Amino acid sequence: MSTMLEVSDLSHRYGAGDKAHVAVNDLSFTVEAGQLACIVGPSGCGKSTLLRAIAGLLPPTSGTVSLHGDLVTGVPDDLAVVFQDYSRSLFPWLTVAKNVEFPLRWTKLDKASRRERATAALEAVGLTGIGAKFPWQLSGGMQQRVSIARALASRPALLIMDEPFASVDAQTRFELEDLLRRVQREQGTTVLLVTHDIDESVYLGDRVLVLSKSPASIVADLPVPLPAERDQITTRESAEFVTLRGEVARLLHGPASAVGASAASTASAASVASADEAERDLVESAATAAKEEAKN
Ligand SMILES: Nc1ncnc2c1ncn2[C@@H]1O[C@H](COP(=O)(O)OP(=O)(O)OP(=O)(O)O)[C@@H](O)[C@H]1O
């Protein structure tokens, strides 16, 4: 296996002087090609800051991020991000097919190949034949499938997913988790997924990286000893699943990780703003071009 993502001694501090706030503290890890690594951490610990730095949206105060050996200094062309809020990341004025094709405009693919890729990506996520619909004509779960199809269509070197299933109901969440694992294995995609949900991190991951309370540092990097074929009922009942889930919960909620209630709620409010900012950065930069696309 080759290393796809390398995060080395990464730190990020917001502000300076008395008002300085260290959000990420000297964090190092790698993700191998084809791996699905999950990150779990307490609310407000610095997950969004970390993802923004990895995505090239935020220059870190110190340390480096490399994608397939290349230093990340801006948003890499071969990186895709799926956010929690599908309703804001899909363009409502473009059809589903055009939404999925959209990032391919920056590749060398001709129009016919772009269409073919989009059709195949929609098929991979179980949405064959809905390309002519608009996002707002679909359920929330279907819209998130479209976001996943769009991310996969560009065959990214790294797919970053920031709480991707937090806005759908429990049944849809299970379906999307299984869909992600299936497609990720079929296509060999390297995925870094952030979740608040301990069970989800264990069910989905090949590895679970547990972050400390703010400032984020890695408290554990745990391999997931579950078979590749997983099932929402039997896997979650298995001894390995229950043991690992307990271990992650203890690391997150044990005394060393406890966060005071008021500090947590303040941090949480600021971090929502930060995640929103990241999403806006990416979506807005694409929106202008998407409007042009709609005219064509
Ligand atoms: N732009 C900013 N300026 C100053 N401080 C910030 C900024 N963005 C985030 N922070 C602070 O950095 C810390 C980490 O925030 P971040 O959003 O990365 O956490 P998070 O783990 O993603 O949060 P959540 O779990 O709620 O999504 C928080 O204490 C937050 O208050």
Q: What separation in angstroms does the CA of 142 have from each of 55, 97, 116, 211? A: 25, 13, 20, 31
Ligand 1 centroid to residue 93 C-alpha, Å = 32
Given this model, what pLDDT does residue 255 score?
61
Structural domain includes residue 131: no
- DSSP string for residues in 114-166: HHHHHHHHHHHTT-TT-TTS-GGGS-HHHHHHHHHHHHHHT--SEEEEESTTT
* 292: pLDDT strictly greater than 80: no
**How far is ligand 1, taken at its centre, from the CA of residue 216, in Å?**
10
231 occurs within a structural domain: yes
Residue bearing the CA closest to ligand 1, atom 4: 14
CA atoms within 13 A on the CB side of 81: 27
What's the N-to-C CA distance of the chain in angstroms?
42
Q: Is 45 in the pocket of ligand 1 (CB under 6 A)?
A: yes
Is there an atom of ligand 1 within 6 Å of 13 CB?
Answer: no
Q: What is the pLDDT of residues 61-70, one digit of tens each?
A: 999 999 999 9
Q: Which two tokens stand for residue 123?
A: 């098929």
The answer, yes or no, to whether any atom of ligand 1 lies below 6 A from the CB of 47, is: yes
- Give the domain extent around 12: 3-92+181-295
Return the pLDDT at 287.
Answer: 52
Fill in the amino acid letter for 227.
P
CATH number of the domain within which 12 lies: 3.40.50.300
Task: Give, using CA atoms, the residue closest to atom 18 of ligand 1.
Answer: 46
Assess whether the C-beta atom of 90 lies below 6 angstroms from ligand 1.
Answer: no
Beta bridge partners of 211: 218
Assess: ipTM above 0.90: yes
Q: Answer yes or no: is 210 within a domain.
A: yes
Assess whether pLDDT exceeds 80 at residue 98. Answer: yes
pLDDT confidence of 272, banded at 50, 70, 90?
very low
For ligand 1, atom 12, the nearest C-alpha belongs to 23
Instruction: For residue 75, give the nearest of 233, 239, 291, 285 by alpha carbon.
Output: 285
Q: What is the model's pTM?
A: 0.85
The alpha carbon of 41 and the centre of ligand 1 are apart by a number of angstroms equal to 12
**Which pLDDT tens digit goes with each residue over 33-88?**
999 999 999 988 999 999 999 999 999 999 999 999 999 999 999 999 998 888 88
Q: For residue 279, what pLDDT band results from cuts at 50, 70 and 90? A: very low
Lowest mean pLDDT among 174-183, 229-238, 277-286: 277-286
Expressed in angstroms and rounded, the spacing between residue 270 Cα and the centre of ligand 1 is 5
* Per-residue pLDDT at 215 exceeds 80: yes
- Give the count of domains, the chain: 1
189 is a domain residue: yes
Read off the DSSP letter of residue 72: P
Which residue shows structure tokens 């997913």?
161
Q: Is 144 within the bounds of a domain?
A: no
25, part of any domain: yes
Q: Of 273 and 125, which is predicted with more confidence?
A: 125
Asked if residue 209 is part of any domain, the answer here is: yes
192 in a structural domain: yes
For residues 23 and 14, the answer to whether their CB atoms sit within 8 Å is yes
